[in-house]
Amino acid sequence: MNETTRTTQADSETRRFRPSFAIFKANGKGTGCALKLELHPAHDTTDGSIWATFANQLTIGDRRGPNPTYARFDWDNRICVKLDFNDLTKMLQVFRGECESIGDGKGLCHRSPRGMTVIGLKHFVEPCCGYSFEVHRTGPNGGEESHAHIFILPNEALGLSAAIEGSLGGVCGAVLLCGLFGVFFAPAYTVHCFILGGLCGVFSQFGDLTASIFKRKMGIKDYGNLIPGHGGILDRFDSVLFTAPLVFYYIQLVIVPFGAL
Task: For residue 99, tell me if it sits in a domain.
Answer: yes
Quick one: which of 102, 86, 105 has its CA closest to 94? Answer: 102
Name the CA dihedral angle for 38, 41, 44, 47, rounded to a multiple of 10 degrees. 60
At which of 152, 174, 209 does a domain end? Answer: 152
Confidence at residue 83, expressed as pLDDT on a 0 to 100 scale:
85
In percent, how much of the chain has pLDDT > 90? 2
**Residue 254 DSSP symbol:** I
pLDDT tens figures, 11-46: 454 445 455 778 888 888 888 898 888 877 666 566
Domain holding 144, by residue range, is: 18-152
Q: What is the pLDDT of residues 89-128, one digit of tens each?
A: 888 888 777 788 888 888 888 887 777 889 988 888 777 7
Return the pLDDT at 205. 67
Q: How many domains does the chain have?
A: 2
Co-location of 210 and 123 in the same domain: no
Mean pLDDT for the chain?
76
Answer yes or no: is 28 within a domain: yes
Is 142 within 8 Å of 9 (Cβ atoms)?
A: no
pLDDT at 5 over 50: no
Last residue of a domain, one of 100, 126, 152: 152
* Residue 14 CA neighbour count, 13 Å, CB half: 27
Query: Amino acid identity of 72?
Result: R
Residues 146 and 208 in one domain: no
Task: Give the Cα separation of 39 and 19 in Å (integer).
Answer: 6
pLDDT exceeds 50 at position 7: no
| Rounded-to-integer distance, Cα 162 and Cα 167, Å | 8
Domain finish residue from 131, 152, 173? 152
**Residue 158 lies inside a defined structural domain of this protein:** no
Same domain, 49 and 139: yes
Q: Are 23 and 152 in contact (CB under 8 A)?
A: yes
Query: How many Cα atoms within 13 Å fall on the side-chain side of residue 41?
Result: 30
Mean pLDDT of 58-65: 81
Are 124 and 181 members of one domain?
A: no
pLDDT for 179: 76
Confidence of residue 2 (pLDDT cuts 50, 70, 90): very low
Q: Tell me the mean pLDDT in the region 162-186.
A: 71
Give 6's pLDDT tier (boundaries 50, 70, 90).
very low
The pLDDT value given to residue 1: 45
- Residue 21 identity (one-letter amino acid): F
With CA atoms as reference, report the closest residue to 15 among 141, 170, 199: 199
Any idea what DSSP says for residue 102? G
pTM given for the model: 0.56
Does residue 140 have a pLDDT over 80? no
